[in-house]
Amino acid sequence: MTTASPAPELSLRDKPGFSDLQGVTVEHGLNTQDMVVNIGPQHPSTHGVLRLVTTINGEIVKDMEPVIGYLHRSKEKMAEGRSYFQYQPTIDRVEYLSSFYDHYVYVTAIEALADLKVPKRVEYIRMICMELNRITSHLLWFGTFLLDLGATSPFFYAFREREAIFKLFEDITGARMMYNYFRFGGVNADAPPGWLDDVRKVINELPFRFDEYEAIANKNPIVMDRCIGVGVTSYQDLLDYGVTGPSMRACGVAQDMRKTNPYSCYNEVEFDVPTATEGDVYARYKVRMAEMRESIRIVHQLLDNMPGGDSAELRKLEKEHAKVAEEIAAAKKRVTVAKKNEEAPNAADVAKMAEKAPELPFDYRTTGQKVNLMVFKPPAGEAFSMVESPRGMLGCYLVSDGTPKAYRVKWRGASFSNLTILPSMMIGNLYPDLMAIFGSLDIILPEVDR
């Protein structure tokens, strides 16, 4: 081996990058060929009906094209064919994991159009519902995300806590998932007596559960291997693709509508916007876990400062008011038709009494103005309202022409925009990382297809 023999000339075939067939390349001395893998529409990890036409070479993703529309149920066209109130139940089905948010944008758009004042108690109840809904949505994400990575048990833990919160939703709205609870200028019904204490009980328990989850997952070598440094995005990429929500906050930008454009009563509560700087899958995981704790912090403050307190006290107060109202009505009757052997009360006195009749303060009510939902017509005009949903910025563009039916309702679903970034994140990445990256975006397909 001492005498240097001339290096054997590489045949053309062995040269890197050589290709004699379409799609056949030679890498590291191996003939490889592009292969198209069709993921979905029915696939356990796509969380809905999504088709990903993926071209892979070896384990590297060369191209990816999401095909959507399998769940298109013409939600926007449906709005044009029914009254504003009749459309409401169908909203739940747009985004069934956090449908309080969809109702909230729809209802606030109409409230802005019709200039309806909303009592503070209503806003507080709405905020409690929304924040609890954020927790259930993130819990489901936590369970399914780890399920995608191969861990089965967190799924059951997450669903246990989710069910406890769903029980609270069932108590207040009557439904576990399809709430249809918010109304124009109010909510459907007040919280049942003792509900606030029930909420307190559940959310007191949750932080310990989250500690358990994080003990399982945070330092788990498999989770760390599959998440850290995977699916890194830059902030500019996210802006270019219109990605919002936890993915954006995982890039170090505290863009949260609750802080930047405070709606409802978010300027009255104290909370932080959790951020991370790495921009990878693990950062998104950490941001979501921290967000759940912030939500609990918000709910605690709302429970403590609920205008009117528990509804049992309010009902007692209302009964007293009703008794006074009855007395006044009786006195009014006696002014005109006095009883036998009795002097008719002075009409002026009765009028004064009626004026002083106690009334539930506006902020304690569950409906601001009485709205006849069946014939409700907001004035002609348009509104674009937005909310920070668990998946990002959710908007509703509502155009009214003054008739009882909406002229146009357009949903700006966060998932629709969030999905667009997936191909650019996947191209050049390992195929097995697909489910970790896709899972970390937290996309819900009914909202994409509407």
**Rounded CA gap, 314 and 309, in Å?**
8
Which of 47, 120, 258, 450 binds another protein (CB under 8 A)? It is 450
Only one of the segments 6-14, 177-185, 297-305, 414-422 lies at the binding site for another protein (rule: CB under 8 A); that segment is 414-422
Residue 261, interface with another protein (CB under 8 A)? yes
Residue 449, interface with another protein (CB under 8 A)? yes
Which of 58, 193, 242, 345 binds another protein (CB under 8 A)? It is 242
Interface map 381-400 toward another protein (x if CB under 8 A):
xxxxxx------x-x-x-x-
Give the Cβ contact number of residue 289 at 10 Å.
Answer: 18
The residues, any chain, with a CB within 8 Å of residue 158's CB and separated by 6 or more, are 139, 140, 142, 143, 213
**Rounded CA gap, 401 and 379, in Å?**
7
Whether the link from the prior residue into 390 is cis, omega within 30° of 0, is no
Q: Judged by CB, which is closer to another protein: 417, or 440?
A: 417
**Closest distance to another protein from the beta carbon of 450 (Å):** 8
Tokens 């799924």 correspond to what residue?
155
| CA distances, 124 to each of 120, 194, 201, 259 (Å) | 6, 16, 18, 17
Residue 301, interface with another protein (CB under 8 A)? no
3-class DSSP state of 254: coil
**Closest distance to another protein from the beta carbon of 399 (Å):** 7
Tokens 């054997």 correspond to what residue?
8
Residue 425, interface with another protein (CB under 8 A)? no
Only one of the segments 187-195, 225-233, 236-244, 301-309 lies at the binding site for another protein (rule: CB under 8 A); that segment is 236-244
Residue 40, interface with another protein (CB under 8 A)? no
**Closest distance to another protein from the beta carbon of 184 (Å):** 13
Residue 112, interface with another protein (CB under 8 A)? yes
Q: Judged by CB, which is closer to another protein: 141, or 241?
A: 241
Only one of the segments 140-148, 176-184, 189-197, 406-414 lies at the binding site for another protein (rule: CB under 8 A); that segment is 406-414
Q: Quick check: 80 and 74 in contact, CB under 8 A?
A: no
Interface map 362-381 toward another protein (x if CB under 8 A):
-------------------x
**Rounded CA gap, 54 and 57, in Å?**
10
Residue 201, interface with another protein (CB under 8 A)? no
Residue 117, interface with another protein (CB under 8 A)? no
Q: Judged by CB, which is closer to another protein: 54, or 366?
A: 54
Give the Cβ contact number of residue 356 at 10 Å.
Answer: 10
Q: Quick check: 280 and 229 in contact, CB under 8 A?
A: yes
Interaxial angle between packed helices 153-173 and 120-149, expressed in degrees from 0 to 180 and rounded to the nearest 10 = 160
Q: Judged by CB, which is closer to another protein: 383, or 426?
A: 383
Name the phi and psi angles at 83, rounded to 5. Answer: -70, 165
Which of 60, 228, 253, 353 binds another protein (CB under 8 A)? It is 253
Only one of the segments 37-45, 117-125, 364-372, 409-417 lies at the binding site for another protein (rule: CB under 8 A); that segment is 409-417
**Closest distance to another protein from the beta carbon of 83 (Å):** 18
**Closest distance to another protein from the beta carbon of 383 (Å):** 4
**Closest distance to another protein from the beta carbon of 265 (Å):** 17
Q: Over 163-230, what HEC string results?
A: HHHHHHHHHHHCCCCCCCCEECCEECCCCCCCHHHHHHHHHHHHHHHHHHHHHHHCCCHHHHHHHCCC
Only one of the segments 9-17, 148-156, 254-262, 292-300 lies at the binding site for another protein (rule: CB under 8 A); that segment is 254-262
**Rounded CA gap, 189 and 126, in Å?**
12
For the stretch 205-212, contacts whose Cβ atoms lie closer than 8 Å and that sit 24 or more positions apart, written own/partner, are 205/164, 206/135, 206/161, 206/292, 206/296, 207/293, 207/296, 209/157, 209/161, 210/289, 210/292, 210/293, 212/157
Residue 250, interface with another protein (CB under 8 A)? no
Interface map 324-363 toward another protein (x if CB under 8 A):
----------------------------------------
**Closest distance to another protein from the beta carbon of 385 (Å):** 5
Name residues contacting another protein, limited to 52-111 (CB under 8 A): 68-69, 72, 74, 76-77, 80, 108-109
**Closest distance to another protein from the beta carbon of 240 (Å):** 5
For the stretch 205-209, contacts whose Cβ atoms lie closer than 8 Å and that sit 24 or more positions apart, written own/partner, are 205/164, 206/135, 206/161, 206/292, 206/296, 207/293, 207/296, 209/157, 209/161
| CA distances, 98 to each of 93, 208, 387, 389, 392 (Å) | 10, 23, 12, 8, 12
Q: Judged by CB, which is closer to another protein: 118, or 393?
A: 393
Q: Quick check: 258 and 266 in contact, CB under 8 A?
A: yes
Which residues of this protein are in contact with another protein, per CB under 8 A?
Answer: 68-69, 72, 74, 76-77, 80, 108-109, 112-113, 115, 239-242, 244, 253, 255, 260-261, 381-386, 393, 395, 397, 399, 408, 410, 412, 416-417, 419-420, 449-450
